Amino acid sequence: MVVWKKLITPVDATDKTPYQRSFYVEGGNFTYAGIVSTSIKSILKQMGLPADVVRKAAIVSYESEINIVSYAKKGVIKLTVDSQTIQIEAIDEGPGIPNIDLAMQEGYSTADQKIREMGFGAGMGLCNIKNYSDTFNISSEIGKGAFLKMIIDRH
């Protein structure tokens, strides 16, 4: 509890010292898929942010995390909280997304059987991320990886 207090205090104080933390995500390993987003959610909750804001951030983080696990070799999810916004960046090393417009389409999915057995592969994840973000950016370099940045307003 003492540890949390130390981490959390600067966030509410001023945006000159935003709270920042990075989490490693392993590609292909479904055992822990979602654990990062569970942690992010609990951090945000303990900061005392409004429930609907926490929920939006948790959803966009979770969909990005599942995509890294599903399609990339490895990645990082970066959480930044300042006085106005929650920012979540999902940066991965993997095949990248050859056609972003296509990937963003509802229902488009290249998910394999393993991913589908987990309940994913509806081709809705990126749409969900866009819908729950106040600002959403996606870019990719083929053969290198994908980069997503989601901003959620705190108020």
Partner 1 sequence: MKLREVKEILDAEVIIGEDKLDLEVKTAFGADLMSDVLAFAKAGSLLLTGLTNDQVIRTADILDIAAIIMVRGKRPASEAIVLAKGLKIPILTTKYILFETAGRLYAKGIVGCLEKVDNASGRN
Ligand X SMILES: Nc1ncnc2c1ncn2[C@@H]1O[C@H](COP(=O)(O)OP(=O)(O)OP(=O)(O)O)[C@@H](O)[C@H]1O
CA distances (Å), origin 90, targets 9, 49, 100: 25, 21, 15
58 binds, among ligand X, Mg ion, partner 1, none (CB under 5 to 8 A by kind): partner 1
Binding of ligand X at residue 132 (CB under 6 A)? no
Considering only residues 77 through 106, tell me which ones interact with ligand X, judged by CB under 6 A.
Answer: 92, 94-97, 103
Task: Work out which of 111, 150, 151, 152 binds ligand X, going by CB under 6 A.
Answer: 111
Q: Is the dihedral of CA 95, 40, 7, 133 positive or negative?
A: positive
Q: What values do phi and psi take at 25, rounded to 5? A: -125, 125
Kindly list the strands in the beta sheet with 85-93, ordered across the sheet, starting from the edge strand earlier in the chain.
19-26, 74-81, 85-93, 145-153, 135-141
Task: Work out which of 37, 64, 67, 133 binds Mg ion, going by CB under 5 A.
Answer: 67
| Residue nearer to partner 1 on the CB measure, 30 or 83 | 30
| Residue nearer to partner 1 on the CB measure, 17 or 29 | 29
Binding of partner 1 at residue 131 (CB under 8 A)? yes
CB 22 to ligand X: min, Å: 17
Q: DSSP code of 1?
A: -
Task: Work out which of 28, 128, 147, 154 binds partner 1, going by CB under 8 A.
Answer: 128
